[in-house]
Amino acid sequence: MTTQQTDKTATATARELAVEGAYEFTPKVFPDDRGLFVATYQRPLFSDATGHPFPVFQASQSHSRRGVVRGVHFTSTPPGTAKHVYCARGRALDLVVDLRVGSPTFGQWDSVLLDQEHFRSTYLPVGVGHAFVALEDDTAMVYLMSGPFVAENEHAVSPLDPALGLPVTLDGVEPVLSDRDTVAPTLAQARELGILPDYRTSLALEAAL
């Protein structure tokens, strides 16, 4: 049996987002008559951009129909969790929201279109909130996480908070939210409750990854 090898030296570009410490990565995709090959995480590039490699503790996946909104989710800090997210199938508008009290970009957000054509990914540092809206049925999102999922450490801010103004409503489709996200507090309410991550604490945990 003959195996044909193709040089797939992985290359990608990194772009810092409007939220401090968050990045978009765009890898090179290698298509051929069989399909395609792509490296969705590249340690050298990631380390150069963020200052550290990504310590994968857990990989998770979600599937969503068009109009589903998941988030804005974040982890108690400490322990804090960083995430590396990409779309394996379908399309999603991925949203990175700065929830770190004291951050120079607190309350700001940025968005990245994730799909199965370009295989962009987003990196969310410790303390930064994550949300997305599925733009197609059966959109599959893959999450690499720096720590375990512990239910009591997981929180949410409402993706419909008008003060945030997240673009989560699609034409002709009402946002589909979980019960948890439907009753989630606004950003201001979450701050009053004292559940939002602290900026300096988040940076210290990020540096320790």
**The predicted structure's pLDDT at residue 8:** 53
Instruction: Confirm whether 73 is a catalytic residue.
Output: yes
Catalytic residue among 23, 73, 123, 199: 73
**The predicted structure's pLDDT at residue 172:** 84
| Structural domains in the chain, sorted by start | 13-207 (2.60.120.10)
Collect contacts of 110-115 with beta carbons under 8 A, ≥24 apart. 110/17, 110/18, 110/19, 110/22, 111/167, 112/17, 112/24, 114/85, 114/86, 114/87, 114/141, 115/87, 115/90, 115/91
Residue 142 has pLDDT above 90, yes or no: yes
Q: For residues 152 and 10, which has the higher predicted lDDT (pLDDT)?
A: 152
Kindly report, residue by residue over 148-174, the tens digit of the pLDDT: 999 999 999 999 999 999 999 999 889
Catalytic residue among 41, 84, 86, 143: 143
Kindly report, residue by residue over 20-47, the tens digit of the pLDDT: 999 999 999 999 999 999 999 999 999 9
Instruction: Confirm whether 143 is a catalytic residue.
Output: yes
Q: List CB contacts of 109: < 8 A, sequence separation 6 or more.
A: 18, 19, 95, 96, 97, 98, 164, 166
Percent of the chain exceeding pLDDT 70 equals: 95
Q: What is the pTM of this model?
A: 0.92
Residue 7 has pLDDT above 70, yes or no: no
Which residue type does 153 have? N
pLDDT band of 6, cuts 50, 70, 90: very low
Kindly report, residue by residue over 194-205, the tens digit of the pLDDT: 999 999 999 999
**The predicted structure's pLDDT at residue 206:** 96
